[in-house]
Amino acid sequence: MRGTAGFTLLEVMIAMAILAIALVVVFQSQSQSISMASESRFLTTASLLAQSKMTEMEAAVPGNLVSGSGDFGDDYPGYSWRSTVEGTHMDTIKKIDVTVRNERMASNNTYTLVLYRYVSP
C-alpha cells in the first residue's frame, strides 16, 4: 500500500483551532485599540474645550461670574458644557467648575476642570 498524501482530519481540526484562537486575539486587540483611540480623542478635545471655557471665565469681570451651561455649536456636535461658580470658606476666593460632556459617548464622557479665583472685596 502506498502512503497517501494530505492531512488527516485531526491535523485540520488542530490547525483550525489555532487559527480561531489567533483571530480572537487579533480582533480583541483591534477592538481595544479603537476604544483607546476614541477615549484619547475625547480627552484631548474635551480638555481643550474646557480650557477655552475656563479662559472666558477667567477673563470675565468678577461681578459677572455666574453659573451657566450651553453647547459648542456646530463645530463640536454632541459636546456641551456646564459651569458652576461657588463661594468658598474665604469670601475672596470663588471656586469655578467647568464640565465638558460628550453626549454621543456611553461611558467616560465627562471632563471637569476646576479653578479657584481671587475676587477682590
Which pLDDT tens digit goes with each residue over 57-105? 888 887 788 899 999 999 999 999 999 999 999 988 999 999 999 988 8
- CATH number of the domain residue 104 falls in: 3.30.1300.30
Does residue 73 fall inside a structural domain?
yes
Q: Does residue 5 fall inside a structural domain?
A: no
pTM of the entire structure? 0.73
Q: Is the pLDDT of residue 115 over 70?
A: yes
Decide: 57 and 45 in contact? Cβ < 8 Å. no
Per the prediction, the chain carries an average pLDDT of: 89
Read off the pLDDT of each residue in 16-32 and give the average, rounded to a whole number: 92
Answer yes or no: is pLDDT of 121 > 60. Answer: yes
Residue-range definition of the domain harbouring residue 46:
10-118
Q: Are 111 and 50 in contact (CB under 8 A)?
A: yes
